[in-house]
Amino acid sequence: MQVGIFSKTFSRPTLDESLDAIRAAGFGCVQFNLQTVGLPTMPESLDSDLCDRIRLAMGAREIEVSALSGTFNIIHPNAEEQQSGMKSLRVLANACESLGTSLITISTGTRNADYMWAGHAENVSEDAWRDMIVSIAEATEIAEQAGVTLVFEPELSNVVSSAKKARRLLDEIRSPHLKVVIDGANLFHVSEKDRMHEILDEAFDLIGKDIALAHAKDLSAEGFSAAGKGILDYDRYISLLQSIGFTGGLILHSLDESDVPACHQYLKSRLP
């Protein structure tokens, strides 16, 4: 298991400057977002020369691309928005080999048309579930054709809001090209603090064998925060990751660059 970070945490004028800052901060892996090179997260096209340049720049600094950010609202109420995201997903999938990664992060969507990470009353409906399954199946087919794997995140504000629903999604799609990115802080509300261990343990029992990437942030009364600044029991979380033999990237996010040194040290001190 290696601590990594979202590449866009370090905002610099150039790719080289961003990667130098990531390496100087002690990170050997990232979840790469194309915003780091001035493009949208979900681009309409991607130049192969740029992909090669990114891969070579990463390699020169011994930074691994653990995953490529590819999140969009997969059940956006506007069909054109949804299909635009799907077309961009194909662009990313076809670029993964050149970028040196095989994982793309995705979301399971929300009926909220304004913000992908905001909940909506209809997210729990069977109609939303059906639409999500249709879209995830289409996305997974894109991944299969490109030889990559999609990793979705159980997220309270999205259609797949729990480990149980994540298990249901995996069982319905039944593809080796669909796996999970786990984030302990996304699995419970602050009001469920007393049940935190129970919820975490159940999640790893249900979907542990399908976890391919892990995120690291925290949860407090004010919302999401930097790792170590909230109520998530990181000793328990990391112990559960170890129990499934997880060896991938544990990726910091939801933090400012000024938080990076303390959060990085906090996580490293809890790893074996």
3-state SS, one letter per residue, for 215-258: EECEEECCEEECCCCCCCCHHHHHHHHHHCCCCCEEEECCCCHH
For residue 32, the Cα-to-chain-centroid distance in whole angstroms is: 10
Q: Of 117, 109, 208, which is closest to residue 167 (Cα–Cα)?
A: 208
CATH number for 2-268 (one of 3.40.50.300, 3.40.640.10, 3.50.40.10, 3.20.20.150): it is 3.20.20.150
Four-residue CA torsion sign, 45, 157, 143, 57? positive
Dihedral of CA atoms 163, 232, 4, 95 in degrees, nearest 10, equals 30
Continuous segment of H or E residues that includes residue 127: helix 126-146
Full pLDDT tens readout for the chain, 272 residues? 999 999 999 999 999 999 999 999 999 999 999 999 999 999 999 999 999 999 999 999 999 999 999 999 999 999 999 999 999 999 999 999 999 999 999 999 999 999 999 999 999 999 999 999 999 999 999 999 999 999 999 999 999 999 999 999 999 999 999 999 999 999 999 999 999 999 999 999 999 999 999 999 999 999 999 999 999 999 999 999 999 999 999 999 999 999 999 999 999 999 98
Q: Of 146, 107, 144, 143, which is closest to residue 128 (Cα–Cα)?
A: 107
Pull the structure tokens for residue 143. Answer: 């991944």
Distance CA(46)–CA(142), nearest Å, equals: 16
> pTM to 2 decimals?
0.97
